[in-house]
Amino acid sequence: MGLTVAEKIITKHLIEGKLERGAPIAIRIDQTLTQDATGTMAYLQFEAMGLPRVKTDLSVSYVDHNTLQNDFMNMDDHRYLQTVAAKYGVKFSRPGNGICHQVHLERFGKPGTTLLGSDSHTPTGGGLGQLAIGAGGLDVACAMAGQPFYLTMPKIVKINLTGRLQPFVSAKDVILKVLQLLTVKGGAGKIIEYGGDGLPTLSVPERATIANMGAELGATTSVFPSDAVTKQFLQAQNRAADWQEILADSDAMYDAEINIDLSALEPLAACPHMPDIVQKVSELKDRKVDQVLIGSCTNSSYKDLMTVAYMLQGRKIAANISLGLAPGSKQVLTMLAQNGALADIAAAAARLLESACGFCIGMGQAPNSGGVSVRTNNRNFQGRSGTKDAGVYLVSPETAAATALTGKLTDPRALDLQPYKFTPPRHFAIDDSMVLEPNPATEIIRGPNIKPCPKREPLTKDLTGEILLKTGDNITTDDIMPAGSKVLPLRSNVPAIANFVFAGLDPDFAKRALEKKGGFIVGGENYGQGSSREHAALAPMYLGVKAVIAKSFARIHKANLINFGILPLTFANAADYEKLAQGAELKIADISAAWQNKKNIFADISAPLNVRIELTYDLSDRDREILSAGGMLNFVSKL
């Protein structure tokens, strides 16, 4: 039996386990990436391991999230990241060089290699035929220390793409269609692999857009073959030596297959407040819009912005629209400036934004109160934009440009425009001067806001405490640990950032958790979806959260809970969720005995409920060892 693209890459990197679906495996990691919102803590954790330098083939530290410098804290983090990278053998991408995923795709990603990144959209690299996986910062720190990455062998779902996209329909519409079909939890425990005779019609940036938003499916990663299109892209980046062909075998077996006819797609939009609430733009027409933002790691490539420039050329945006545009990298910005496209964008009355994550992470460009914002980024969770009562629609660059011109949500096919014929450049503008090389003689600089990573004591025999909060389904890591310009600068200071845990859902949560000396959280389906931010586990651990009991967990967040010594448990009977209430006292006894006997765990809830519920756990032997030690840092220190 033949192998899929994903299986071929995993096989070459397999250190422990077998290619059996649902079995624990460990793979060697070739490359890592971090960004400044997660990187400071990741490098503090790496420092705690006491190694002289990283052991990966390549590690890159990017600054692209916390670039808004309201005070000293973000700049201090950048100084720390620059110096710690130099000290330990990590390349450093300076602020302004671009968004980590766009830059890594352009300059560093290699087909057939593995990439682990402390950002949930690391799977962007799948557009190059790279097995690129998002993880918490501590997992990335361990990979930099030369340790394998542990995961459960996913199922592999093939999406067959046939035909060719029609004019003004783009790759963003492809992934929105996949989200409509599978939902935000439909990719859990799966790798999404793309194939079909439509692949040669999609460029690497288009493939990267599709792979990028596979994170919204909850998938482990998404991957495309490495073929002639990949080769052309790498040649144009002056990286022909990095190419290798990786195709699925003709007799490869998949766990499921989905067929999508590219020629049948039309412009789509993800409606507030979830990426899988997808409708046709034609069904949403005439919806008044206040703001349009084009960019993010999903849609800020040269192709994307050349398309936008073509649509804006010689035209002005509507008077009611605020239009912002952020090139994904210095390379993209340089090429737009060199060929005159940037002048067309500026003449249309667009605001040029920094080559950074910016508005996608809630770092500026918040909409007006009650406003409607149309964006090309990947998430539209309520409040993520910085305005809680705003409605955010996720669309393609084509739909965003059309909307900016008309002032209302507009199907770009309705405009009187000839189709744009984009020709991939034979040579991209290459200038890597904003990527700094390591220098082990560097002295590390630490600002006063940079605090050590807190640790948890080893797991006790019994866990007791109060149910501090009960949540619903699809709770995101934004809900648990908000981002935005007020909170992100505190990422290197856990005691300070812990005050914001669940702030949007329950402003008193942090205070209550400290007063009660910790306790438990109860969640619904897909608890912890969204960003990889480990602070959504690290900060609750600091507040004393001992376990999270949920109907199901998102992959990265579950791993982060384990890494910081918080027990992730699921209901043996989903109906028991209804029996639990905030404020009830709960006791879980003899955890280690249950593990040793491979039995389920029971929790006793005291008056007024007076019930016993049965809980399950999906934990490997290694997971249980990590939890018993009180988290990954304690576990690693004993190796």
Largest Cα–Cα distance in the chain? 72
**What is the CATH code for 5-264?**
3.30.499.10
Stretch 187-192: mean pLDDT: 97
Token digits of residue 399: 């739909």
Per-residue pLDDT tens digits for 562-592: 999 999 999 999 999 999 999 999 999 989 8
pTM recorded for the entire structure? 0.95
Q: What does the alpha-carbon distance between residue 10 and residue 128 come to, in Å, rounded to a whole number?
A: 16
- Kindly tell me if the per-residue pLDDT of 639 is higher than 70: no
Q: How much is the mean pLDDT over the chain?
A: 96
Quote the crossing angle between the two packed helices 302-312 and 204-212, to the nearest 10°.
100
Domain range 268-414, CATH architecture: 2-Layer Sandwich (3.30)
Q: What does the alpha-carbon distance between residue 514 and residue 543 come to, in Å, rounded to a whole number?
A: 6
Per-residue pLDDT tens digits for 487-522: 989 999 999 999 999 999 999 999 999 999 999 999
3-state secondary structure 497-531: HHHHCCCCCCCCHHHHHHHCCCEEEECCCCECECC
Q: Is 555 left (phi over 0), alpha (psi -120 to 50) or beta?
A: alpha
Per-residue pLDDT tens digits for 399-422: 999 999 999 999 999 999 999 999
- Kindly tell me if the per-residue pLDDT of 23 is higher than 70: yes
Which pLDDT belongs to residue 154?
97
Instruction: Tally Cβ neighbours within 10 Å of residue 239.
Output: 17
CATH number for domain 463-637, candidates 3.40.630.190, 3.20.19.10, 3.20.20.140, 3.40.50.2300: 3.20.19.10
Which pLDDT belongs to residue 9?
98
Domain boundaries, the chain: 5-264, 268-414, 463-637
CA angle centred on 383, ends 382 and 388, rounded to 5°: 100
- Kindly tell me if the per-residue pLDDT of 131 is higher than 90: yes
Instruction: Tell me if domain 5-264 and domain 463-637 are identical in fold.
Output: no
Which residues are catalytic, by number? Answer: 64-65, 119, 379, 531, 533
Q: Which of 541, 542, 558, 559 is nearest to 550 (CA)?
A: 558
Q: Which of 204, 211, 207 is nearest to 230 (CA)?
A: 204
Best-predicted range by mean pLDDT (60-69, 166-175, 478-487): 166-175
Three-state DSSP class for 61? strand
Which pLDDT belongs to residue 638?
73
Q: Which of 268, 566, 516 is nearest to 413 (CA)?
A: 268
Which pLDDT belongs to residue 53?
97
- Kindly tell me if the per-residue pLDDT of 626 is higher than 80: yes
Q: What does the alpha-carbon distance between residue 120 and residue 9 come to, in Å, rounded to a whole number?
A: 20
Which pLDDT belongs to residue 1?
83
Per-residue pLDDT tens digits for 448-460: 999 999 999 999 9
Q: Which of 591, 575, 470 is nearest to 519 (CA)?
A: 470
Per-residue pLDDT tens digits for 275-320: 999 999 999 988 999 999 999 999 999 999 999 999 999 999 999 9
- Kindly tell me if the per-residue pLDDT of 111 is higher than 70: yes
Q: What does the alpha-carbon distance between residue 111 and residue 636 come to, in Å, rounded to a whole number?
A: 31
Instruction: Tally Cβ neighbours within 10 Å of residue 254.
Output: 19
In the block, which residue shows the tokens 């439909």?
186
